[in-house]
Chains A and B, each alone.
Chain A
Amino acid sequence: MALVLLPLLFNGQFILFMATQALVMMLVAIGLNLLTGYAGQVSIGHGALVGLGAYTTALLMKDLQWSFWLSALAGIFVACGTGLIMALPALRLSTWYFALVTLTFAQVVTDLLVEWRSLTHGFSGVVGIPAPSLNGHILSPVQVYLTLVVCVVLVFLATRQLVNSRFGRGMVAARDNPLAASASGVSLWRIKLLAFAMSAGIAGLAGAFYAVQKTVITPEDFSTDFSIFFLLCIVVGGQGKLLGPVVGTLAFFLLPELLGPLQSWRLLIYGVLLLILMLFAPQGLMGLPFFKRWQKRVIVDVDIQFDSAISLKPVKNLDLTIKDLHKHFDGVKALQGCSLFVKAGRIHALIGPNGSGKTTTLNAISGFIRPDSGQVMIGTTDVSSLSPYQVAQHGVGRTFQTPKLLGDMSVLDNVRLGGFMNEHATAFEVVLNLPRVRSDDLASKVQALELLKFVGLSSRAEELAGELPHGQQRLVEIARALAGRPALLLLDEPAAGLSMSELDRLAELIEAISKHGTAVLIVEHHLGLIARISQSVTVFDRGQVLAEGSVKEVFKNPEVARAYMGREGTGDSM
């Protein structure tokens, strides 16, 4: 608070001007941090979005005499809308494609600002933008500054709300482990769009203030260098940290003062700084040990009195039916007409030698691979052509051969990610912190804690997932998959790398999961585990079903022994 009012104490036009500039930049940086820091999409075009907001506001105020407030609102919409035209297709591409598209977009905006000179006054720009007024009273620079302060605070709070909600978890997952995100029901495209739309709208708002503060804007103000400034701010401050853009912008603003006589070299120095920071201090200022202590760790109330009504939601009872699946990869026939049936609530194992198509089958079921032909039915719905997040939303949870966790997030938050699709508050509600958001939040936390208790890890809830040993990471991943309350749980070689006692725990866990109503399809090599927990088994060999039936039947089958151990091993040679 004091920091904010500080510039007002110094009775100087210049200080006020600089402070207002700094806050405008900070606004953009907060938005960019959401897109680049949290959702991991580098944008080199936010300068152009600011420009769009600035030009819309300026032209509406100057040429059409609109009030500042309406013009600013229009600026937000224009920046957001135009940005979305670019982002809707571009966010389907990989991250660095997106970065280059934003670069091109920024260039296009500058080009068109010059080209459409009848609208935008071309190179000479818009001059003499009037000051904002309220009820006929023209706002003084101090009042503009204070309005801006209010905006920055509101935007910061809104961002904080979003970041701490399921959307924040979804964005971080989309950035660090897209497969984990998709498997948890997060639509990667939609979550990135959300981050983009918010950051673009915020940039537009900043542009509005930029216009009325500078009173003169030209296309050159919004060049690529301008976009890179914002990147610099968030890199200096710390990407993906709430206070990062705040601290970063302030640091960035002190820079020119420190540079002194080297001013004309500042672009070069920014480049060098960006490089050095990314190499030696990629976590930025907020990543320094000093600042890390400020950041609150998730203090979990493990003694919450669970209302049994809130805890684990019931799962639907659905069968899994696979009919005649075919899949080839450029000559490798991974699946050649496989069929499988898992009754609701039963444990079914899928075994076979390496390369027989087991993981391919799991991928086909969960939507990571599209089969060439055949059907995958969850209950009565054919999910074979759906994308992974859609399959997850139909009640499928899965784990991976190597646990895919978000190492920098707490164990609790990792599990909460799994419950993404079961929370229902929209982003709009989240930002406004409506009641439904708070009940969603509580329910999600309680359920996650219950699940951690279920897998035996409640004591580790607040630790970073990356610090857990391998066996416990597996359990966290299972808890995450369960958080989606799946009708079907796919386990991909969960026993790998587990000790004897961990194996025992795993067996008990899987049996308990099945008792709660979830069907389990487990791909495994550990035949002892299979023998203990499965009610039925399918054996694959080279993309085809070799045998199926109960555990006893299958293990007695000579074909199965031969597939695993070869002719010599079964004493069948010669």
Chain B
Amino acid sequence: MYSAKELETSDTLMFFDILVSGLTAGSLYCLVAVSFNILYQPTKVFNFAQGDLVMLGSMGSALLLTQWNWPWWVALLAVMVAVGVLTLVEEWMAVAPVLSRHSHGTGWIITTLAVAMIISNVVGKVWGVEPIVVPAPLPLSNDMLNLEGINISSYQIALILLTLALVFGVDWLYHSLWGKAALAVAEDRDAALLRGIDPAAISRWSFAFGGAFAALTGYLASPVLSASTTLGGILLLKGFAAAAIGGLGSTRGALAAGYMLGVAEAACSVWLSPGYHNTVILILVLSVLLVRPGGLVSSLEARTV
């Protein structure tokens, strides 16, 4: 029925579809992972509420854009500030008290999990479960362009490029003095104190920055994923997977891992079924971490006494 040439092109088309889909989703997972990393660096706390912070950014901006018709840059700024402040509150309420009690404890797992529950349930109560469809900000659009037979929208191109820019931007930031201070606090809080670095302040700023970054990610995600209250749980898992596979604290690792996950997911949707997404992620996470416990981009040394 189909000529060999037609079959060949349809295979290539499918390959590119998977690639485009994978890189787009992967970019978003990478950004979520980066926001995890920003919080994790100075505090060694993995924020279980991070997925819901992204969701807030997404829902918040969606509402501002579609319901109140705010210009895109105002909406973006507003959610970044709002979520940044909220994350500061989270740090003050749910993280700092637990860390001050046992600096190596894991009570924050449960407290940040509780915050996640609170956020998602409040939003759920206020808005409900209906997803909000958000158009891409002009002059970009979600319409598929046909470039040399590849189906990709201008928004997707912009998203992928912007992610690369953000990743390298954050990387550069961490090579600056401020970034080095954050890393110093992670290594040894007391030593950092002795050098005039205030660990508590760095932690707070990191939380605020990470929260704002999460909101940005949510804003960027809504034209692609459509804003809904269930986004939080989904992104927690996928963001964790990207961060863990890439190597905690590594932005470039998050990029590689994000792409890997995105493409694996897209391929899974085509060849198996969307119901296997999480299974694929679980298998990927466990296999990578078994071979390289520190993730793809790392050299983990055994803990010394």
Contacts and interface: CB of A to CB of B under 8 A. Distances in A.
A369 B304 contact: yes
B279 interface: yes
A401 interface: yes
Interface residues of A, number: 50
Interface string A475-509: 00000000000000000100000000000000000
A101 B93 contact: no
A369 B237 contact: no
Interface residues of B, number: 44
A279 B125 contact: no
Nearest to B239: A100
B107 to A, nearest CB: 6
Contact of A104 (B110, B111, B278, B304): B278
A108 B304 contact: no
A40 B110 contact: no
Contacts, number: 123
Contacts of B117: 228, 267-268, 270-271, 274
A279 B112 CA distance: 11
Interface string A260-301: 000001011011101100110010000000000000000000
Given A89-B289, A275-B94, A279-B93, A104 B281 contact: yes
Given A108-B279, A272-B114, A278 B233 contact: no
Contacts of B86: none
A265 B240 CA distance: 28
Main secondary structure of the interface of A (DSSP, over half): helix
A311 interface: no
A111 interface: yes
Interface in B276-303: 276-279, 281-282, 285-286, 289-290, 293, 301-303
Most buried by A among B109, B276, B290: B109
A382 interface: no
Given A96-B106, A104-B281, A90 B305 contact: no
B80 interface: no
Nearest to A360: B304
A340 interface: no
A465 interface: no
Contact of B275 (A89, A115, A278): A115
Contacts of A100: 46, 236-237, 240, 244
B122 interface: yes
Interface of B: 46, 93-94, 97-98, 101, 106-107, 109-111, 113-118, 121-122, 125, 233, 236-237, 240-241, 244, 273, 275-279, 281-282, 285-286, 289-290, 293, 301-305
Given A104-B285, A268-B125, 20 more contacts: A40-B106, A44-B113, A86-B286, A100-B240, A100-B244, A101-B285, A103-B237, A104-B240, A104-B241, A108-B278, A108-B282, A111-B277, A114-B275, A228-B113, A271-B115, A274-B111, A279-B93, A279-B97, A368-B304, A369-B302
